[in-house]
């Protein structure tokens, strides 16, 4: 068996920043450190931090007053920030700057009197946070069919934004439908889908034609990981999303000559290496690293933690 190992893959700059933030907070302030929602959408990352003393919550009423609280990489609505202040929580904002960008755009468009079409997945933490910035002005759509059913008060004051972890192709299809139906619609100055999401999808597009099957390392609740699996299937090859090597069913690979391995933006490299070791052990696999483009992006820590980093 031949394994093509895609690059770029795995952690993005926003995930690295959020994970480093939680590590620093635990080391500096002791435990428990509370986190609103999962720090990133990866089961193993969450379980590792739970073992270190992090407590993940979905309701700030369960967080004792005066505790340290970290906002996850996906961002939160203003209401959560307000509740944190009311409960005198020491809040540390580890929201990915690319998500913050979308929040700012939503506020700007809403204040200018626009109705905003947000392209994204209902119930996703990032979407909930963005919609919370201007709930009266934002309409969520997930498909081109929903665009056809849209009813807006003023088609000449219409804008669109997107969740940062969408399929690039799916988002473009919906944007084309919006522009066809509402020619006056405006978008953000720079597209919202993040660089890491685009780069990982590009690597799958380029490399999948050489493979019989793709393994995507990532958790089931990871939007960008799900998109990688779906992209492989759209390109005509079998695709599987696995949390770790334990999830690999060897029967998937019984007649497979070439496997493409990649990882979503919230999946640790250690899990990728475990999967590669499994393929080497079970199938005598040889591994070829294929790099589509280089990434050299980093984000600063939240201001509450920068002094700790320097010390």
The Cα angle at residue 174 between residues 108 and 240, in degrees rounded to 5: 110
Q: Which contiguous run of DSSP H or E holds residue 282?
A: helix 269-283
For 186-229, the DSSP string reads B--SS--S-HHHHHHHHHHHHHGGG-SEEEEES-TT-HHHHHHH
CB 239 within 8 A of CB 232: yes
Query: Phi/psi at 168 (nearest 5 deg)?
Result: -60, -45
What sign results for the dihedral spanned by CA atoms 7, 11, 14, 17? negative
CB 35 within 8 A of CB 76: no
Strand-pairing partners, residue 118, are 140, 161
Residue 183 has what DSSP assignment? T
What gap in Å lies between CA 107 and CA 159, rounded to an integer?
12
Residue 61 has what DSSP assignment? G
In terms of Cα–Cα distance, which of 72, 129, 125, 120 is closest to 96?
A: 72
Residue 239 has what DSSP assignment? E
What gap in Å lies between CA 95 and CA 125, rounded to an integer?
11
What gap in Å lies between CA 105 and CA 102, rounded to an integer?
5
CB 96 within 8 A of CB 18: yes
- To the query of whether residue 126 is one of the catalytic residues in this protein, the response is yes
Residue 171 CB neighbours (<10 A): 20
Radius of gyration over every alpha carbon of the chain, rounded to an integer in angstroms: 21
Point out the catalytic residue in the list 38, 105, 126, 304.
126
- Residues acting as catalytic residues: 126
């Amino acid at each position: 068996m031949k394994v093509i190992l895609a690059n770029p893959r795995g952690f993005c700059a926003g995930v690295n920043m959020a994970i480093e933030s939680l590590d620093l907070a635990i080391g500096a302030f002791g435990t428990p450190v509370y986190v609103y929602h999962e720090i990133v959408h990866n089961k193993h990352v969450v379980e590792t931090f739970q073992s270190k003393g992090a407590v993940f919550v979905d309701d700030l009423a369960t967080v004792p007053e005066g505790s340290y609280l970290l906002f996850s990489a996906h961002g939160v609505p203003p209401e959560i920030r307000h509740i944190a202040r009311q409960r005198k929580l020491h809040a540390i904002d580890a929201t990915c700057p690319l998500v913050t960008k979308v929040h700012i755009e939503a506020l700007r468009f809403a204040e200018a009197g626009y109705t905003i079409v947000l392209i994204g997945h209902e119930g996703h933490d990032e979407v909930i946070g963005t919609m919370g910035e201007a709930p009266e002005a934002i309409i969520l759509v997930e498909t081109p069919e929903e665009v056809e059913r849209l009813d807006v008060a003023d088609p000449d004051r219409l804008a669109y934004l997107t969740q940062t972890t969408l399929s690039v192709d799916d988002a473009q299809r919906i944007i084309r439908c919006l522009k066809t139906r509402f020619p006056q619609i405006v978008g953000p100055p720079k597209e919202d889908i993040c660089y890491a999401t685009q780069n990982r999808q590009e690597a799958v597009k380029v490399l999948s034609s050489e493979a019989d099957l793709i393994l995507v390392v990532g958790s089931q609740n990871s939007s960008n990981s799900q998109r990688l699996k779906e992209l492989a299937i759209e390109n005509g090859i079998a695709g599987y999303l696995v949390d770790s090597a334990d999830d690999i069913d060897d029967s998937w690979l019984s007649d497979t000559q070439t496997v493409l391995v990649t990882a979503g933006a919230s999946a640790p490299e250690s899990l990728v290496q475990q999967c590669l070791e499994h393929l080497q052990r079970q199938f005598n696999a040889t591994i070829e690293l294929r790099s589509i483009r280089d990434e050299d992006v980093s984000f600063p820590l939240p201001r509450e933690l920068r002094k700790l980093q320097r010390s």
